[in-house]
Structure 1
Amino acid sequence: MLKVTQTKNALLDGATIAEDLYRTPNDFEEFFQNLEKPDEVVAKPRTTFLRAGVLTTVRGSAYMEYGNTKVMAIVAPPHEVVRASARRMNMGSLNCYVNYAAFATGELETVPRREKQLSSMLTKALEPVVCRNEFLNFQLDVRVLIIEDDGCLLSTAINCCGVALVECGISTYDLITASTACIYRDHVFINPNAMVEELLWKHRAGHALPSSSDDTKPIQEHGLLIIASMDTFDQLAQCQQCGYLSPATYTRLLDYTLTINKGMRQLIRQVLLQRVKEQHDLDLREKAQNALEDQRLADIIERLKSQGLSELINPSNIKEDPYTSK
């Protein structure tokens, strides 16, 4: 019996040819030399745009632009878990789902693996923040859509989800903030962009050149550090490290990220306060409109009681139907 197997055409399906086949260590060395390196370390957030309540169809939503990185988070109210093991749950369940937009990346083959990894790390970061003991046997779903990735993707998603949780009315122990810092060739990059992060991943894969004249000596320190913190309790909700860092360098990068988190916390508080003021003004405006409508209906009812129905009918407004007259 003849068996036919379908072969996937990567080019027709929108995938791109892997560029690693045509790159050499000299290409990465040239890329690093042309990279803009900061003269001094400035521990402050990128240019940030943050908006809560961007979607009216869900209860909790937020949109964040951290430089050129764009992320949207959606939080729905907890729903009951229907599986049989739910009766033995002493805390609520938190599930995070991260998805790339169709136009957000060109590496289609690695997207499922990256989405799964980001979802797992995001869940670990948000679990210490949410008061899961308040919704026993219930499940909370957090969904993140990545619109554009220009570095600091996980930390941006954590910040955006923290705002969406507050917007949804989910009880949390504190506001969570996150930031990213890395070091490569003795250069510290605060809020690294996608180019710097790609250079680090390629170095871990063994494609970069050593930093000294001796080719047998590898680069000693290179790595990425992602810190999510709760400043009120001075606790770390998530710590993600990649690469090789000495204790002194690790402490230095940790101080940089915590400083950025404090600045990000102030920004998030301002956004949430502004959101509360906007909602309060909207409620007052709606309440005033309802009061005017109630007063108008009360006037009509009073006129009906005092004048009768015939007094409210204006004969000049009554016209003969042209089709009936024919």
Structure 2
Amino acid sequence: MLRVTQTKNSLLDGASMSGELYTTPKDCEDFFESIEKPTTVIAAPRSTFIRAGVLTTVRGSAYMEYGNTKVLAIVAPPRELVRSSVRRVSMGVINCYVNFAAFATDELELVPEREKHLSSMLTKALQPLVCRNEFLNFQLDIRVLILDDDGCLLSTAINCCGVALIECGISTYDLITASTACIYRDYVFVNPSAKVEELLWQHRGGNALLGSSSHEKDEPIQEHGLLINASMDTFEQLAQCQQCGYLKPETYVQLLDYTLEINRSLRELIKRVLTERVQEQHTLDMRERDEDRLQDERLAAIIERLQQQGLNEFIMSNIKEDPHTAK
């Protein structure tokens, strides 16, 4: 006889809850009744803040706030593979490391597993983006620090890493953008919060809502699931599309359309941020060039005076009497 066991899905392993919020079906029901149900689906990003080049000690860095989710990404230039670990590879190697800040979560015992899952999924999302054929026998290390988690953690990390890669000067095929959407009890949540993601995991773990009659044999299985989609719009290519839960084909396509629309909005925002970053860097370069030019002019004037006056006369002309000593 076939047995189906509900297990925790790594896609939902991003909600940082303080303690067990939903320990009983009644807790799930109370929370679901307390949240605001979306009457119409608005496929738009959360309030977003992105800053490239936030760290001066590394070549590529970016910081992103997606609602209350806060992520910092750092990209170092490619470095040669260690000889002891070199293997025959036709493309460069990408290594992603995700770490939670000490204050980002209270579930310390789950942090290593969550970091491992997020690192693996982030690596899979960025591999189609980077031109790995340009650094053979080299590896690219990408590090992500999670400062706060309020849902959409993986998609926010993908967006932040995409900006950091451009800032570092790594060749990419396109800009990458990612977003998250889910469905629960016939309600579609775009950019779900950490509490909604936790509610979905509790449902998958068998802690369903009281109002759900999916346990009855005559009732169909109720749709519940989450979709994370990372896309590159120039080539109309999906870099990564991960889904968990039970979704009908038409619902899957609907959630996919919502995420693609959000990705297009985020793409325009990221393009504007990178354009402003280039303009800012150009302004700094021009200012530094002007300062160097003025310094060269001062040095040229000093050399000219030295040649005209001679060394002794030049030294004596630059000696000034101390007004305090003169008194």
User: Structure 1 length as normaliser, TM-score?
Assistant: 0.89
| Contact residue 214 and residue 221 of structure 2 kept, 8 A | no
Residue equivalent to 2:147: 147
2:100 is the alignment partner of 1:97: no
Q: Which moved more, 1:61-70 or 1:29-38?
A: 29-38
Residue equivalent to 2:55: 55
2:83 is the alignment partner of 1:74: no
| Matches for 1:1-326 after TM superposition, within 5 Å | 19=20, 23-84=23-84, 86=86, 88-209=88-209, 211-212=211-212, 216=216, 217=219, 219-312=221-314, 313-314=316-317, 317=320
| Contact residue 210 and residue 218 of structure 1 kept, 8 A | no
Deviation at 1:308, TM superposition (A): 1.5
Q: Which amino acid aligns with 1:19?
A: E
Offset from partner CA, 1:188-241 (integer Å, 9 cap, x none): 001001111110011111112254457524752000000000000111001111
Aligned CA distance change for structure 1 residues 315 and 56 (closer, same or farther; 3 Å): closer
SS in structure 2 of the partner of residue 27 of structure 1: helix
Q: Which moved more, 1:218-227 or 1:288-297?
A: 218-227
| Contact residue 26 and residue 210 of structure 2 kept, 8 A | no
Offset from partner CA, 1:21-46 (integer Å, 9 cap, x none): x8211111111011111121000111
Aligned CA distance change for structure 1 residues 294 and 272 (closer, same or farther; 3 Å): same
SS in structure 1 of the partner of residue 86 of structure 2: helix
SS in structure 2 of the partner of residue 95 of structure 1: strand
Q: Which amino acid aligns with 2:39?
A: D
Q: Which amino acid aligns with 1:25?
A: P
Distance 1:273 1:18 in 2: 43
Number of residues paired by the alignment? 306
Aligned CA distance change for structure 1 residues 278 and 214 (closer, same or farther; 3 Å): closer
Deviation at 1:75, TM superposition (A): 0.1
Residue equivalent to 1:12: none
Deviation at 1:177, TM superposition (A): 0.3
Offset from partner CA, 1:28-78 (integer Å, 9 cap, x none): 111101111112100011100000000000000000000000000000000
Deviation at 1:315, TM superposition (A): 7.5
Distance 2:99 2:221 in 1: 34
Q: Which moved more, 1:281-290 or 1:214-223?
A: 214-223
Deviation at 1:281, TM superposition (A): 0.6
Offset from partner CA, 1:157-179 (integer Å, 9 cap, x none): 00000000000000000000000
Distance 2:132 2:192 in 1: 33
Aligned CA distance change for structure 1 residues 79 and 198 (closer, same or farther; 3 Å): same
Higher relative contact order (CA 8 A, sep 6+): 2
Deviation at 1:120, TM superposition (A): 0.1
Distance 1:206 1:227 in 2: 26
Q: Which amino acid aligns with 2:40?
A: E
Distance 1:17 1:41 in 2: 29
Distance 1:64 1:58 in 2: 17
Distance 2:299 2:85 in 1: 54
| Contact residue 52 and residue 167 of structure 1 kept, 8 A | yes
Q: Which amino acid aligns with 1:98?
A: V
SS in structure 1 of the partner of residue 151 of structure 2: coil
- Runs (4+) of structure 1 moved beyond 6 Å? none
Which structure 2 residue ranges, 5 or more long, are not aligned?
A: 1-16
| Contact residue 29 and residue 210 of structure 2 kept, 8 A | no
| Contact residue 185 and residue 211 of structure 1 kept, 8 A | no
Distance 1:298 1:235 in 2: 57
Aligned CA distance change for structure 1 residues 81 and 213 (closer, same or farther; 3 Å): closer
